[in-house]
Structure 1
Amino acid sequence: MNNKLEQLKTMTTVVADTGDIDAIRQWRPEDATTNPSLLLKAAASDAYRPMLEKAVGFAVKQGGSDAEQLTLATDMLAVLAGKEILELIPGVVSTEVDARLSFDTSATLERARRLVDLYDRQGADTSRVLIKIASTWEGIQAAEQLEKEGIRCNLTLLFSFVQAVACAQAGAHLISPFVGRILDWHLASSGRDFYPPAEDPGVLSVKRIYNYYKSNGFNTVVMGASFRNTGEIEMLAGCDRLTISPALLQELQDDQGSLARKLSPQAASSSDRPGQIHEKQFRWESNEDAMATEKLADGIRRFAADQIQLEERVRRLSQAA
């Protein structure tokens, strides 16, 4: 019998949740996804040094203020990393818009278009690039416009059902519900130290979204993310995509047990009925969901903080040049 990772690949597209080139080369996933946190970790490796230097040189050549050059250099670094990842995988790579723009639709649109342009300048196939945007109301509106322009989007930091409904309504290509962070919140708020995988609140959230999408004919891809253990992954076997860290990929590969499919379009059933979500309803339902409100805000803050650290790394390199 194949190990659980190989079994999972027969029913779900496996995505590597890492910006580490060596890890992607080792695991050879179908797709890959990065964010500022992953890029910050990866940028400390020797493999990224040439990319950092090229990104800084490109930004300096373009001119502009120090702040403009800095943001351009970090965008270029993400693109250079994404382009190298694309050479290692057959599918798509996700590249994230600066989290500090999460509440600014026009600025998100501008940055997303720049990222795609930078990929194009590097000779990359832009149809294999997904632009990652936080699932705020403003981010979802930006994604709706980008999808109309042919730029496919990955709506990230998704914690609630209303976010998922709004993303599907906007025609988003893909969403990334954060399983582990939902679990984190429930563990902290309930005082419990464990949830069985079948009762894991993050798992149940993704199942509800998946069944809603499949039952109602929405084409938006569901990609579970932010896993804390392989039990969560196993309970979502059959989900469209799952983005998994190298450590958990290793655990799945080492496990020779049997893996049962838990989700499929044919078996999908949902009591949730589709309806038009307007901004006021979105904001009210988000406000009523303490977990989603807190984790979305926390996620944006964390990604923004790591983006700032990444910029500081780039700044030091440019000063030393």
Structure 2
Amino acid sequence: MPTVNLLEYLNSRTQLEMQGEIVKPSRSAVLKRSLALATTIHPQFADLSLEELAVEVVGIELALEVVQNVYGNVHVMINPSYAYNTQAVVANVKRLHLLCQIVDPDFDSSRLVTKIPTTWEGVQAARQLKPSGIKSLATTLFSMEQVILAGEAGCISISPFVHELKTETYNGYKGSNPILGVCVQAQRFYRQNSLPTRVKACVTLSIDELIMLAGVDALSIAPTVLKELAGPERPQEELESMSVFAKTAKATEDASYPPYIDSECQYRVHFAASEGGKAQFKTAQAIALFCDAQTAEEFYVKSQLEDSSYSPITL
């Protein structure tokens, strides 16, 4: 049965994950260290509020803490509030790379992948950054238009959200049908066009969906679903019959798509029409949820800064 690469993607930080981590008592030392460092280096980043800088430092600290225990890339998401501003995304990505070197001068920055929302502006930022050797992952992705744009821009990977992000953050929320087919089409498109971009499916809700995605390049797996993998084994024949990759390989002919990277108007028109507008809605919804988490993190960090005194430290 086809296998997927899990270990490379174990260390991935988004605003939603960080929001839950920084309030844990077990993370108090990391938070304290990050706030002290942010206070020290804040004069170098005068255009940022201290709390925004502190959130970025915490994100880097959390991402790098297990770097010795995993191979491959370390993923950190940009501030999602910049999703529709190309130059702000470029500046944010470069800042995250600089913060990595400040936090750990020995860290190999070629392992850092910045997660950028798959907006027109975000992907154009990834395109600008690629010649400098900076790697990008296109996240909040729900359509083939976004798949094509990200591949043409040189993103090293994409994260199709099988379900709406809200299904993970709001109990009882029922979204539209899962986009398992987009994962298959995306991987086929990249192979057909000799593009190195890899497909990392995420926001799966069950063990059955993981099995159905057997054959995808990589997966992000929620802890609740990960526990199910330890359950009873199923017959090999049953597992193979469930894979949407195996079924599609037999039943689908190669499809052709228009290029988008230099055609903003065509891209926006086609993306707006994708799934009758659902893809655009789901992307905007996911970005909004990440922005909410970013705001909550900054509010919490600001409260910690106000409650305590963080003296500059010696670097």
Give the TM-score range, shorter chain. 0.7 to 0.9
Which residue of structure 1 lines up, in the alignment, with residue 312 of structure 2? none
Q: Given residue 295 of structure 1, which amino acid in structure 2 is its aligned partner? A: K
Q: Quote the Cα distance in structure 2 between the aligned partners of 1:102 and 1:211.
A: 27
Q: Given residue 166 of structure 1, which amino acid in structure 2 is its aligned partner? A: L
Shift of 1:30: 5.4
Which residue of structure 2 lines up, in the alignment, with residue 294 of structure 1? 281
Which residue of structure 2 lines up, in the alignment, with residue 43 of structure 1? 22
1:44-83 counterparts in 2 under 5 A? 44-64=23-43, 68-83=49-64
Shift of 1:274: 4.4
> For the Cα contact (< 8 Å) 1:182–1:201, is it kept in 2?
no
1:123-142 counterparts in 2 under 5 A? 123-142=106-125
Which residue of structure 2 lines up, in the alignment, with residue 244 of structure 1? 221
**Does the residue aligned with 1:272 lie in a helix, a strand or coil?**
coil
Q: Given residue 51 of structure 2, which amino acid in structure 1 is its aligned partner? A: L
1:215-294 counterparts in 2 under 5 A? 215-257=192-234, 258=236, 259-260=239-240, 263=245, 267=249, 270-277=253-260, 278-289=263-274, 290-294=277-281
> For the Cα contact (< 8 Å) 2:117–2:138, is it kept in 1?
yes
Shift of 1:182: 8.3
Q: Given residue 49 of structure 1, which amino acid in structure 2 is its aligned partner? A: S
Distance 1:255 1:145, change over 3 A: farther
Which residue of structure 2 lines up, in the alignment, with residue 316 of structure 1? 303
Is 1:164 matched with 2:141?
A: no
Distance 1:234 1:116, change over 3 A: same
**Does the residue aligned with 2:72 lie in a helix, a strand or coil?**
coil
Q: Quote the Cα distance in structure 1 between the aligned partners of 2:162 and 2:150.
A: 17
Shift of 1:174: 0.5
Q: Given residue 48 of structure 1, which amino acid in structure 2 is its aligned partner? A: R
Shift of 1:302: 0.4
**Does the residue aligned with 2:220 lie in a helix, a strand or coil?**
strand
**Does the residue aligned with 1:89 lie in a helix, a strand or coil?**
coil
Q: With structure 1 as the length reference, what TM-score do the two structures score?
A: 0.83
Deviation sequence 1:283-319 (CA, Å, 0-9, x none): 1012112111111111111000000101111111111
- Aligned length, in residue pairs: 288
Which residue of structure 2 lines up, in the alignment, with residue 303 of structure 1? 290
Distance 1:305 1:72, change over 3 A: same
**Does the residue aligned with 1:263 lie in a helix, a strand or coil?**
helix
Q: Quote the Cα distance in structure 2 between the aligned partners of 1:188 and 1:73.
A: 35
> For the Cα contact (< 8 Å) 1:208–1:270, is it kept in 2?
no
Q: Percent identity?
A: 25
Shift of 1:183: 11
**Does the residue aligned with 2:93 lie in a helix, a strand or coil?**
helix
Which residue of structure 1 lines up, in the alignment, with residue 170 of structure 2? none
Which residue of structure 1 lines up, in the alignment, with residue 126 of structure 2? 143
Q: With structure 2 as the length reference, what TM-score do the two structures score?
A: 0.84
Q: Given residue 73 of structure 2, which amino acid in structure 1 is its aligned partner? A: V
> For the Cα contact (< 8 Å) 2:164–2:175, is it kept in 1?
no
Shift of 1:270: 4.7
Q: Quote the Cα distance in structure 2 between the aligned partners of 1:179 and 1:140.
A: 20
**Does the residue aligned with 2:63 lie in a helix, a strand or coil?**
helix
Shift of 1:253: 2.1
Q: Given residue 104 of structure 1, which amino acid in structure 2 is its aligned partner? A: N
Deviation sequence 1:236-272 (CA, Å, 0-9, x none): 11111111111111101223113336537xx586532
1:187-226 counterparts in 2 under 5 A? 201-226=178-203
Deviation sequence 1:199-239 (CA, Å, 0-9, x none): x6411121111122222222101000111112111111111
**Does the residue aligned with 2:6 lie in a helix, a strand or coil?**
strand
Q: Quote the Cα distance in structure 2 between the aligned partners of 1:226 and 1:262.
A: 17
